[in-house]
Structure 1
């Protein structure tokens, strides 16, 4: 996938994805074929509605998406009011001219109640995932919400309170505050500087009439994209979309001209203080927009910097020098503005100066030295793995098609992106490092604590359940197997009884310590060798402890399974528990 500044209310960047030269190119082509690069049906209805349909009969499920080409940068006289996000709350499941809110909820419950919406800088999306027999109901609901919203006063008042509470919570979230601080420091003119959720004082002033005006202005069929992926027939899907969304009337759209951000002529620094226990910071450099050819070496460079435990910044800044608790890098290249190469870190407040100097030293080193062939190959393999894992479900495929279409008007842009990534050379990476790692285009944003308030970690998402084959080996080991030929990936998990439940006051924390130590080395590999082994194959491995168990997980591409499983079992059976 390519790069977005994607936001659920606030600001949350999302990025990346890949291709090999010579023999490697054949490998990636084979991988794309095995992924089932199904033909995507693309048409435009008479009212201007864009439609994408992809048949995928691997499972009896369907994902229906509606993308509206409007986000926080398109709010015109309402810039900074969070109108796009506010309206998303109203329209999703709300009262229409044909159904009450309660009726929509009953229909949603009847088809599985797997529906949500999100708002970003440049688009708003609504989706319903359901089983094959209910896809028409999903399309009916989405069309009704998009074309017939009533924006009742009762729902307006209720959701205004919800949005304000969400906004207030974000004001204390260090990650959101840091991202917004960096954005408004980077962009002085372009409306990307405004938070998607809006400013509190402006959100409070929004009236129902403002939302009605915005709805009539932006929610027109010729500003929408409908994507349907799953166990459907293209002809019947198109006919139903025509009978529902096709009834909407085309309306004139405002000619919104986004201002070009002027050149940055000097380093910019911004600091905010929050009630948090540790500091966080972001070093970013102005780069390019999505369609620039430097997109590809910049994206590979970001992975070389900080994707995986064996990457440069993780190994040197986090592990060896221990200047930060965590570090990441990403190349954000949106379609609507100049991009940013950003390095973000969580650290102690008194380490900000030292960590900044160490990070810059690593970045500037790339202006002089070529990355190694091993680093380059590893980053490309990681990106290929990302491409595969990000398209495992019909929902993921529907979203990917929609985002490609919105940003480039090519629903298969990601496939081209995959190929171009694999053509990147070490010389091209050095060239973009020289061009873009310049102090005069740098933004240094820092969030510092004003009191020692602990930060609460987010809970992991629940994993999907699938039918399995259960086998018990002669040694008593229980094995659960499930074959899914839809994608060339393998996931594995090993669970052990333990966890907090079996700990005593004297041994509290022992299960978590044990889990963490499993990845510190085996009798055959030390911790660095393990990290390099998994990173080089675009694979992942992790260990964790819970209430009644601790577990080790791994995921890899199908072709690497034999090698990965060999080392995975070595971790489980022969951990070294090093003294250091």
Structure 2
């Protein structure tokens, strides 16, 4: 076939082909009419075991990378501190790691971990302490031994205790530098008066703490039957249990004597608290006590949270930021208590000249939640966002196993994670209005304002009697 004939044949063949085969764009799908199969997701489970000494272990193997991570959750916290030694728990948690162990000096411990590219860290918060480990699989046996020493036999060397105290005291001297930190601190104190959750360290209480106090605090609570361990990474579960039994073989269970901690006062009177600070931006916190984890309305409250102040489409964000331009960020939610009743808090920062305007608008929006049902669109958007984002909390094995460990540590009910999405999906507009009217108290809020009152657009007294907060608790005289 000549070249000319081949060309004519090709042209005729092309003309007979379907349009799509000739390179034309296929018909585009209309996203408004597209349908998808229902998303099916099961919350991953961990393997649970109990060591012979009573330590509870949750494990999820993950062989993708030659890494192992581990976290020991210890039932301890600042809620158990003596009132005259506030700061003891935080110091104990820090010096457990920084103070070396009975077998190794701090320098030796640092050197070994650095050589293996391993990490061991420790801390104690309000209601929980933890010691964590991360390492390459090949270095797990030795890193686990060091982890065990930090958890079981910290040395609390005197020089490291003094160094930690000095650092804490220096931080206390600077604690009034940041308006947002002041607002957070004073808001917590106002909602939990005369309660361990409302106490904060002072120079006086930290100065009073001794090495013997740290040793006694550790020895009182750090026992294997008071620990939940989460393990994820490159390991065989049977081999891991055998290794844990070997490393913790000499650690015996003990009865833990927990001090009595009273329930927080249920009634907190509304108040307007002002801390004068010469800054251009005002920090605002407002709210009241909320709920604990056992509350059956938890799921409806979560949906309400999202609609009120939980995202870029929330009412607070739409009005305060987008429509009025009063703040870059604004947020509101119930912080659900795990051992005690939690809080409801709305917060923002705004320029001094719009302080009263921002406070008034936020109060109106919160009150508006109690007056009428949310729209179908708001409800659907909130539930879809919560349900769909829930999955991303289980993207990695270490995240999943820690979720499982914390659920047991804090005593959440069986099936809490498995039923979470279904419980959110059940929430109705009636539910949201009901919980808003039951749990939101816009006329009984504590409002904390930190800023320069000389620049405020209106006096704070329009919101009620104002009580001044004296920022003098960083001068070494103590105070609650």
* TM-score, structure 1 normalization: 0.67
Of the structure 1 ranges 324-333 and 82-91, higher mean CA displacement relative to structure 2 is found in 324-333
2:111 is the alignment partner of 1:101: no
Alpha-carbon offset, residue 104 of structure 1: 1.7
SS for the counterpart of 2:394 is coil
Mapped to 1, the partners of 2:154 and 2:205 lie a distance apart of 23
2:54 is the alignment partner of 1:48: yes
Q: Which blocks of at least 5 consecutive residues in structure 1 are unaligned?
A: 1-23, 453-580
SS for the counterpart of 2:259 is coil
Which of residues 88, 104, 107 is equivalent to 2:93? 88
Alpha-carbon offset, residue 417 of structure 1: 2.9
Of the structure 1 ranges 63-72 and 353-362, higher mean CA displacement relative to structure 2 is found in 353-362
Alignment of 1:85-164 (within 5 A): 85-164=90-169
**Quick one: structure 1 residues 291 and 79, their matched pair in 2 at CA, closer, same or farther if it must change by over 3 Å?**
farther
Q: Name which structure has the greater RCO, CA cutoff 8 Å, separation 6+.
A: 2
User: Radius of gyration: which is bigger?
Assistant: 2
Residues 193-231 of structure 1 show CA distances to partners (whole Å, capped at 9, x for unaligned) of 123xx2222012111111111111112222222111122
The two structures, once aligned, show a CA RMSD in angstroms of: 2.5
2:73 is the alignment partner of 1:63: no
Mapped to 2, the partners of 1:376 and 1:181 lie a distance apart of 34
Does the Cα contact within 8 Å between 1:274 and 1:451 map onto a contact in 2?
A: no
2:188 is the alignment partner of 1:178: no
2:254 is the alignment partner of 1:251: yes
**Quick one: structure 1 residues 276 and 66, their matched pair in 2 at CA, closer, same or farther if it must change by over 3 Å?**
farther
**Quick one: structure 1 residues 174 and 429, their matched pair in 2 at CA, closer, same or farther if it must change by over 3 Å?**
same
Alignment of 1:451-466 (within 5 A): none
Alpha-carbon offset, residue 146 of structure 1: 1.0
Residues 64-118 of structure 1 show CA distances to partners (whole Å, capped at 9, x for unaligned) of 101111111122x256521111011111253212222222212221332444334
Alpha-carbon offset, residue 450 of structure 1: 7.7
How many residues align? The count is 420
Mapped to 1, the partners of 2:143 and 2:386 lie a distance apart of 33
SS for the counterpart of 1:167 is helix
Does the Cα contact within 8 Å between 2:300 and 2:424 map onto a contact in 1?
A: yes
* TM-score, structure 2 normalization: 0.81
**Quick one: structure 1 residues 400 and 81, their matched pair in 2 at CA, closer, same or farther if it must change by over 3 Å?**
same
Mapped to 2, the partners of 1:79 and 1:118 lie a distance apart of 21
Mapped to 2, the partners of 1:166 and 1:113 lie a distance apart of 28
Does the Cα contact within 8 Å between 2:284 and 2:450 map onto a contact in 1?
A: yes
What is the match of residue 468 of structure 1? none
What is the match of residue 356 of structure 1? 359
Residues 482-537 of structure 1 show CA distances to partners (whole Å, capped at 9, x for unaligned) of xxxxxxxxxxxxxxxxxxxxxxxxxxxxxxxxxxxxxxxxxxxxxxxxxxxxxxxx
2:210 is the alignment partner of 1:207: yes
Mapped to 2, the partners of 1:32 and 1:309 lie a distance apart of 28
Alignment of 1:20-419 (within 5 A): 27=38, 30-32=40-42, 37=44, 39-75=45-81, 77-78=82-83, 81-195=86-200, 198-264=201-267, 266-408=269-411, 413-419=416-422
